[in-house]
Amino acid sequence: MAALATKQVVSHLASPQKLSASTASPPPKLANLVCVLSGCNSRYGIGWATALEFAKHQPKALFVTDIHSDKLDDLVNAIKEISSVTTAHAMKMDQSLEADVAGVVDEALKLYGRLDVFFINGGILGANEPLLGGESATNFMDVMKVNALGPFVGCKHGARGMLVTSKDKPVPKGSIIVTSSIAGLNGGTASIAYGASKAASINLVKHVAIELKGNNIRVNAILPGMTETGMSKPAFDGLRASGRLGILGDLNPLLRHAMPQEMATVVVFLASEDASYINGTSITVDGGWTASHPFLAIRPPNASV
């Protein structure tokens, strides 16, 4: 069952329709834009996949950042292979440290005189301990610092950069996108700290969008469902080893989990003019997980995977 479920995901992403769409040459959606992305160091993560998807749409510059930076140069090289018109910069940045975030924004303004897109994607799970059996205030605040304070700092300095105008950008404008989670919508889908931090980011984008009214800066979040990333890899590996990977399909009507590329295309949409009237909201990308509650036993009895 696990092998069949995995095959289903791979075949979905590598179908002839998908390949023809991704290898075609549509008009670039991010041409001439300067973009900052955080949480990009994992080859299997949403940040990495989004950076490559951005490159397909020919931005002027991509700043790929992470608190861990050992693989960022590889990502820069991959971006160069996709787009000859995009300059990629690798920078170490702790998204929860205001000085780090301000420094990256300042570097973008120094080199290009503008900032157009900020994808605030970094996050941590933290320890998953019960409230009365091991959860600590220290762990709770560590998670909140990265997952809630980080988006706040990113919104603050991202907006500051997007307000800067120039000959090439005569009016303020930009798009800020935060990676939240469906864990911020309901209890029981993750640890207390993780769920609370993601709920905070869902509300944050609403407040920031209102705060920035009249400045042409849109602020939104994506809410991924169960996605196979570097952070979730241990859980997926455990399910594969035990032959239980297919149970993830029981949690949504598409009967499968998601891959990072499926989040990346949504981020590109929100960053582009295609989403010019979407502001102050969250887009749930979960295969229908949250369409019903509880999320149990929706697989039809005769399903093959």
Q: What are the pLDDT digits (tens) for 10-50?
A: 444 544 444 444 555 678 999 999 999 999 999 999 999 99
Domain ranges of the chain: 29-126+136-230+257-291
- Average pLDDT (90-102) is 99
Question: What is the average per-residue pLDDT within 151-165?
Answer: 99
Tell me how far apart the alpha carbons of residues 183 and 196 are, in angstroms, rounded to a whole number. Answer: 8
Q: Distances from the Cα of 158 to the Cαs of 56, 98, 221, 231, 243, in angstroms?
A: 23, 11, 14, 25, 44
3 or 110, which is more confident: 110
Class of domain 29-126+136-230+257-291: alpha beta
Which residues are known catalytic residues?
194
Rg (CA), the chain: 19
Cα dist from 60 to 89, 171, 231, 300, whole Å: 11, 18, 30, 48
